[in-house]
Amino acid sequence: MSAPRRARYTKIEKLVEGLLDQHDVTQVPVPVESIVSSYGIHLRKGDLEDVSGLIVRDGSSVTIGVNAKQSRTRQRFTIAHEFGHFLLHDGMSSHVDHDYRVNFRSETSSLAVDVEEIEANFFAASLLMPKQFLDEADAIEALDSDTAVGHLAKSFNVSRHAMSLRLGNVYREYSPF
């Protein structure tokens, strides 16, 4: 499977809606670790130095590694991001003769230069901060209030930065670009 040429936002939104329905998620915070585990994916936490996370596919075994030194909200986003890679992308071959695939999440993952990274970030934001739950929380009212963004971030168990970006993307008329 080749990398998509442009981000598939509608496909990702439908995928997330299906996951939330399938796992009977009706409130926040979204239980991302249990959703990931239901796919037989192993979660491992450790010191990954400057890497936030990675996904390793070795035959039928899949492991998501997460940097335990980063904040809990960052770890949740990284797990969701890597899960997005699992569902949306085949991975990059790093050792051809053993069918061994790895994707790394690093500081450059959020720079919007790689369609697979854009999709994985959009998937993670959509899964952890579903639009329907933002609407139910009247999140549009939080756009002008740092305090309200902080309260939303806490209830969704995400960082303030992630919540601010998601609000700007969901309620586009307020987006800075």
Report the residue count for the chain.
177
Q: Are residues 123 and 38 in the same domain?
A: yes
- Burial class of residue 175 in the structure, from the number of CB atoms within 10 Å of its CB (0-12 exposed, 13-18 middle, 19+ buried): exposed
* CATH code: domain of residue 123: 1.10.10
pLDDT tens profile 157-175: 999 999 999 998 999 765 5
Q: How far apart are the first and last CA of the chain?
A: 32
Rounded to the nearest integer, the mean pLDDT of the chain is 85
Q: Are residues 102 and 135 in the same domain?
A: no
Tell whether the model's pLDDT for residue 107 goes beyond 60. no
Higher model confidence: residue 76 or residue 60? 76
Q: Among candidates 63, 112, 107, 113, which has minimal Cα distance to 85?
A: 63
Q: Is residue 30 within 8 Å of 83, Cβ to Cβ?
A: no
Higher model confidence: residue 116 or residue 80? 80
CA-atom Rg of the chain in angstroms: 16
Report how far residue 164's alpha carbon sits from residue 53's, in angstroms, rounded to the nearest whole number.
Answer: 22
Higher model confidence: residue 123 or residue 145? 123
Tell whether the model's pLDDT for residue 79 goes beyond 80. yes
Report how far residue 27's alpha carbon sits from residue 175's, in angstroms, rounded to the nearest whole number.
Answer: 26
Residue 4 in domain: no
Domain region containing 175 = 129-177
pLDDT at 175: 53
Residue 108 in domain: yes
Tell whether the model's pLDDT for residue 98 goes beyond 50. no
Q: Are residues 78 and 117 in the same domain?
A: yes
Q: Are residues 49 and 65 in the same domain?
A: yes
pLDDT at 142: 86
Q: What is the pTM of this model?
A: 0.85
Q: Are residues 40 and 101 in the same domain?
A: yes
Q: Are residues 107 and 141 in the same domain?
A: no
pLDDT tens profile 26-55: 999 999 999 999 999 999 999 988 889 999
3-state SS assignment for residue 89:
coil
